[in-house]
A = this chain, B = another copy of it.
Amino acid sequence: MALRNGDSYKRSLQQLRPNVHKWGRVVEDVTTDPATRLHVQSVAASFDAAFDEVRAPYFTTTSALSGQRAHRWNTLLRGAEDVLGNALMKREQFRWTGTCQGATCAGWTALNALWAVTHETDAERGTDYHARLREYFRFVEDTAPALAGALTDAKGDRALRASRQPNPDAYLHVSEVRPDGIVVRGVKAQICAVAAANEIVVVPGTAHGEAEQEHAVAFAVPRDVAGLTIVETRRPSDARDEEEGWDAPKAGGITQAWLLFDDVFVPRNRVFLCGEHTATGKFVAIFSAIYRAAIGACVAGQGDVMIGAALALARANGLGQKTFQEKLTQMAVNSEVTFSVGVGAMFLGRNHPSGLFIPDPLLAHVNKVQVGRLPYETKVLAQDISGGVAETGCLPSFKDFGSPAYGEALLTAAGGAVDGETRARLARLVEWLTIGGGVPGCMHGGGSPDGAKLAIKGLVDWERRVDDARRIAGVTRPLAESR
């Protein structure tokens, strides 16, 4: 198959067992339930893009494994151009729907990172994970699934390692190893786009130590695998997405879920790591290098929409570009910085012996630090430009605008240089982008800035910096870190 359209994708989701929940109830059909449909709809648009001449180059590529055309998120990253393709696709997705599309993101990246990690692990330990993964990769290309990636564990007490947690399920772990596969249990938390995924790639969320061998596990399962209960989380203003009317834009949506693995069986050929704790740190390092090289493009795409929304609203208010050019330009600068630091990481990347292309980790982590700050500045600028009506959504509700008693008067009053509905829709868009359901998790999504700073600390050659300074200053005595 390799390529399929949005309808086909939606049908495949409808065939899954309903194990997604929100509001204390089961979601019978993720493609239509108000709690999940927007993310599915936006992912469907990405499938459809494969058949759109203009957008296909962003959303598809030629597979290095099969030589056939495939959805980009089903393929192996073999060069800097592939990671750039990832970044450009993500920016386009944001521009198209205003949101990120988890079901074409973390699972894909996790598979790619496993490509290198299984290659190393097999070489070190004589295992056969890489062959299993290659087989799974072909399955992915053939069936064209949307893929969630589950890294983050519930984590419990952050001061304790996984093996020391009072609640043993705070981190996902192997509870039984059987000849035909493994049984896993525990909780993965804050996992994007599970409701819109066909498959879930489950991987370690941190570098585990020797005592955490049972937590060193990677595998793939269908989203509706037996024993898995999925509970969607709330997002800011999430109730609006389920309402009628324009109080939220409805072009796309984000979902994040908690995954309760209650002794889930995973067949042998879907297990990619099991007990190799030294592989977990490598996995996290490679995953984050790829992920953080592209993350700035997501943020840039969200910034692009904020630019457009703020400018559109300024015009609707009767003002315009000239009044706000300095701020608009700064918003654009912020977007391009996060985008291009990631592109720089790509250009300075290298190929792993397994064939995987890995962006430069230092620049990737540097970008995570930017991504934890610059989009917030951009949001502030968007609110500054947009005026009070957008800052905290200070507008009557859709229902009130429709009131027979006073709706007409409100609509007239809400008008600016344009009609009231137009202005209200744009104000709601700015609200949604900056303080509502459209705000992505820039700070902690894909790991925290503090974690990135730790990685940066490890990657900078501080002693060479000191030695250069000594030479320039004419200092001959060594200056070690001694106390």
Contact = CB atoms under 8 A, between A and B. Distances in A.
Nearest to A233: B394
B237 A236 contact: yes
B388 A441 contact: yes
Given A307-B460, A308-B465, 16 more contacts: A22-B397, A23-B400, A24-B402, A159-B318, A170-B413, A231-B406, A236-B236, A249-B473, A251-B471, A260-B406, A309-B469, A315-B480, A333-B456, A336-B341, A340-B363, A426-B473
B417 A157 contact: yes
Contacts of A345: 340
B305 A169 contact: no
A461 to B, nearest CB: 9
A355 interface: no
Contacts of A406: 21, 229, 231, 260
Interface stretch (A114-122, A132-140, A195-203, A239-247): A239-247
A239 B428 CA distance: 15
B472 A251 contact: yes
A169 B21 contact: no
7 contacts: A24-B407, A97-B472, A308-B470, A309-B469, A332-B366, A384-B448, A429-B469
Contact of A417 (B158, B305, B325, B409): B158
Contacts of A389: 189-190
A394 B419 CA distance: 36
Interface residues of A, number: 158
Contacts of A346: 347
Nearest to A423: B475
Contact of A410 (B240, B258, B333, B415): B258
A353 interface: no
A203 B24 CA distance: 48
Contacts of A409: 169, 187, 229, 260, 262
Interface string A220-261: 000000000101111111111000001101111000101010
B465 A307 contact: yes
Contacts of A481: 315, 320-322
A300 to B, nearest CB: 11
Interface stretch (A175-183, A266-274, A368-376): A368-376
Contacts of A190: 388-389, 394
Interface string A351-385: 00000000000110011011011001001100110
A123 interface: no
A416 interface: yes
A439 to B, nearest CB: 6
A383 to B, nearest CB: 5
Contact of A312 (B239, B367, B473, B483): B473
A66 interface: no
A418 interface: yes
A156 B415 contact: yes
A207 interface: no
Contact of A235 (B393, B413, B468): B393
Contacts of A362: 336
A311 interface: yes
Nearest to A465: B308
Contacts of A98: 472
A453 interface: yes
Contacts of A65: none
Contact of A474 (B391, B392, B425): B425
B410 A260 contact: yes
A200 B379 CA distance: 33
A27 to B, nearest CB: 12
